[in-house]
Amino acid sequence: MNYGYLRVAAATHAVKVADVSHNTAEILKMMTEAAKEGVSLLVFPELAVTGYTCNDLFLQNELLDRARAAIDDILAASADLETLVVVGFPFSHRSKLYNCAAVICKGRLLGIVTKRYIPNYAEFYEARYFTPGTGDVVFIDWNGEQKSVPFGGNILFRSETNARFVLGVEICEDVWMPHTPSTEHALAGATVIANASASDEVIGKAEYRRQLILGKSATSVCAYVYCNAGVGESTQDLVFAGHNIIGENGAAVVESGRFANGRITGDVDLEKIESERRKMTTFRTNFKNDHVVVPFVVKERKIDINRRIDPRPFVPAGEAERNRRCEEILNIQSFGLRKRLAHTNCKHAILGISGGLDSTLALLVTRKAFALAELPAENIIAVTMPAFGTTDRTYNNALKLIRGIGATCREINIKEAIMKHFSDIGHDPGLHDVTYENSQARERTQILMDLANAHNGLVIGTGDMSELALGWATYNGDHMSMYGVNCSVPKTLVRHLVRYYADTCGDTGLAAVLTDVLETPVSPELLPPEDGKISQKTEDLIGPYELHDFFLYQMLRFGFAPRKVLFLAESAFAGRYERETILHWLETFYRRFFAQQYKRSCLPDGPKVGSVALSPRGDLRMASDSSARIWLDDLDNCW
């Protein structure tokens, strides 16, 4: 099972201008090599069989005849290969010459796609030789045996063995235009676009080209295989560098270097493409279109997916990008809170501060929001509420943090109130069960709500998205607030936000406190400590947050089935977690996610910061009594 992945490649061969025999031999060699590696789609450059820089030689019958014969040679060589091949060549039809791409599969010429936009400006003079193609399609007799070969622009190639694999083709300049053929192809159902190109190098063009191709793959929600002409083309006036790109919905799967020929191979996720299109109601499929659809058969071979799966999908790689993203998220959180403060005319905010990660981030965000609103920091009422599980470490960090921020500190020990509550409901305080734990959480929330009333302020929620996904919050306890600033920030990202603040705040004392908070084990601190240290560690009870955040992203962002989430997790966390461990916590994730939806159905307001969020008013409309059965059944088959 390939889990929706398709292996594609872009191959720039060592071309010799006008030497068709040499070029064909190079193409055949690369075809054979790619087929052995399980490549299902192989794309060659524009005018690959002749070379792009033939200039007026394109008007010579001998060159055109040899180019047509080269296609026959490629057809013959492809007969036993399970690979769809796209190769550029010049083709004369009804006394006009066209810049074309032949689409070939297992000895059959599936179609000939024409280039629509013929550049004739700056260094390009294609209109001297070539006639622009159109979207129209006619059927031609290729060689007496293949008598109905589609020729034109609006042609799609659909796999009969993989329903997700539908190919559209455009040629070089086509993608640089405002309305591209690939847009039409994608709306007609193409999930993969191939571009046979000959784009020369000038200063700055490579980056622009990269942005163009990846942007096109994003707006068309497709996989895009771009193959460029390379070393060997004439350098009389231009230099070609073989800059090849495989993109997928805005991201680069693999990209070649420049000034060297060769092949890049990547595995694109067509299931992800399908999921994105299904979710985007604005992606309007054109059911009434004039595309000719040509079926083909390529056996789907099992491949070892050669693609890095990011174990931290919510956290950008690279310090510079991570810092930029952290600043952006902090701004979204703080500007969201500033608006809520202004709308309610509240001049105070009330937070419970535990000395843990989430409440620390919430306090930092609140301080930033107050600065934006030009409100004094002392109007932030930060409340520490020690109880049975509070340790000296978290208690002291809470106090230092409040002082470092400049907020007003309130300390309210809730032990006596909880003991009275236990007496009222007849609960044995020696029984450390869920009642023992949740009574503390609800008492703290009651205090915060009442303080908000007393000060005409807002209770700021501290819980993060990972806790909401797992239901790791006390209903009507820490589950409730008046505005939840962390509601769409996953736990794996919370750490980086706090770290970023510590690195950039310019206060060594505050930075030291934040560093110690980062090093403190995640815990609700609702059970008595052991030897003065935290005894209740969250990740020991519900599993590693890095796994749960990974599961959440793959499930909600792309709608992947549990078996695919498991497959991706095994790849992402190879060498860190065994399959059985991942599977155990994945089952925990699905059980808790479905069972705890009722808590998410009544969440307080809070800002969305990323592509995955759990707000019942926005991203996740889900019945509280939805069954997890089919998802758990899928996992049962994975043991």
Distance separating alpha carbons of residues 114 and 448, to the nearest angstrom: 69
Mean pLDDT of 456-463: 97
Structure confidence at residue 594 (pLDDT): 97
Q: How far apart are CA 410 and CA 385, in angstroms?
A: 8
536 pLDDT more than 80: no
How would residue 288 be classed by pLDDT, with cut points 50, 70 and 90?
Answer: low
Q: Can you tell me the distance from the alpha carbon of 337 to that of 328, in angstroms, rounded to the nearest whole number?
A: 14
pLDDT digit string (tens) for 554-602?
Answer: 999 999 999 999 999 999 999 999 999 999 999 999 999 999 999 999 9
Mean pLDDT of 604-624: 94
Question: Contact 429/419 with Cβ under 8 angstroms?
Answer: yes
For the segment 476-492, what is each residue's pLDDT rounded down to a tens digit? 999 999 999 999 999 99
What CA–CA distance (Å, rounded) separates 191 from 270? Answer: 7
**What average pLDDT does range 310-330 have in this prediction?**
94
How far is the CA of 222 from the CAs of 113, 269, 581, in angstroms? 19, 9, 34
- Residues of the chain above pLDDT 70, percent: 100
In degrees, rounded to 5, the angle at the alpha carbon of residue 487 between the alpha carbons of residues 309 and 445 is: 140
Whether the predicted pLDDT of 525 surpasses 80: no
d(CA 222, CA 190): 8
Residue 224 confidence (pLDDT): 98
Identity at 330, one-letter amino acid code: L
d(CA 494, CA 490): 6
Higher pLDDT, 120 or 286: 120
The answer, yes or no, to whether residue 1 has pLDDT greater than 80, is no
Long-range contacts of 400-403 (CB under 8 A, 24+ apart): 400/509, 400/513, 401/353, 401/355, 401/360, 401/363, 401/510, 401/513, 401/514, 401/517, 402/353, 402/363
- In this prediction, residue 287 has a pLDDT band, given cuts at 50, 70 and 90, of low
The beta-carbon contacts of 538-541 under 8 Å, at least 24 apart in sequence, are 538/472
Query: Which pLDDT score is estimated for 31?
Result: 98
Q: Hey, what are 33's tokens?
A: 């090599």
CB-based contacts of 447, cutoff 8 Å, min separation 6: 352, 383, 385, 412, 414
Q: What is the pLDDT of residue 526?
A: 78
- Residues with a catalytic annotation lie at 46, 115, 172
**In this model, does residue 443 exceed pLDDT 90?**
yes
CB 24 within 8 A of CB 49: yes
pLDDT over 70 at 337, yes or no: yes
pLDDT tens for each residue of 355-407: 999 999 999 999 999 999 999 999 999 999 999 989 999 999 999 999 999 99
At residue 350, the pLDDT reads 98
Residue 604 predicted with pLDDT over 90: yes
Q: What SS3 class is residue 445?
A: helix
* CA neighbor of 307 nearest in space, from 269, 275, 276: 269
Q: What is the DSSP letter of 38?
A: T
For residues 162-166, average pLDDT: 96
Percent of all residues in the chain with a pLDDT value above 90, rounded to a whole number: 90
Residue 286 reports pLDDT greater than 80:
no
pLDDT at residue 529 in the model: 83
- What is the full DSSP assignment across 158-169? EESS-TT-EEEE
With beta carbons less than 8 A apart as the criterion, state whether 254 and 278 touch: no
Find where tokens 């068309």 sit: 220
Helix (H) or strand (E) holding 36: helix 20-36
Structure tokens at 383: 């409340």
Residue range 154-163: average pLDDT? 96
Task: Please report the pLDDT score of residue 146 as a whole number.
Answer: 86
Which secondary-structure segment (H or E) carries 408?
strand 408-411
* Side-by-side strand order, sheet with 380-384: 408-411, 380-384, 348-352, 457-461, 483-484
Give this prediction's pTM. Answer: 0.92
Query: Average pLDDT, stretch 291-319?
Result: 92
Residues whose CB falls within 8 Å of the CB of residue 584, separated by 6 or more in sequence, listed in order: 543
Query: What's the confidence (pLDDT) of residue 300?
Result: 83
Backbone angles phi, psi at 11, to 5 degrees: -125, 115
Structural contact between residues 102 and 86, judged by C-beta atoms closer than 8 angstroms: yes
Over range 467-477, report the average pLDDT. Answer: 95
**Locus of tokens 């056996």:** 299
Amino acid at residue number 341: L
Task: Please name the helix (run of DSSP H) or strand (run of DSSP E) that holds residue 155, with its range, or none.
Answer: strand 155-159
The answer to whether 170 touches 182, Cβ cutoff 8 Å, is: yes
- In this structure, which amino acid lies at residue 391? T
- The H-or-E segment that residue 294 falls in is strand 292-296
Mean pLDDT, the chain, as a whole number?
95
pLDDT level of residue 531 (50, 70, 90 thresholds)? confident
pLDDT the model gives residue 339: 97
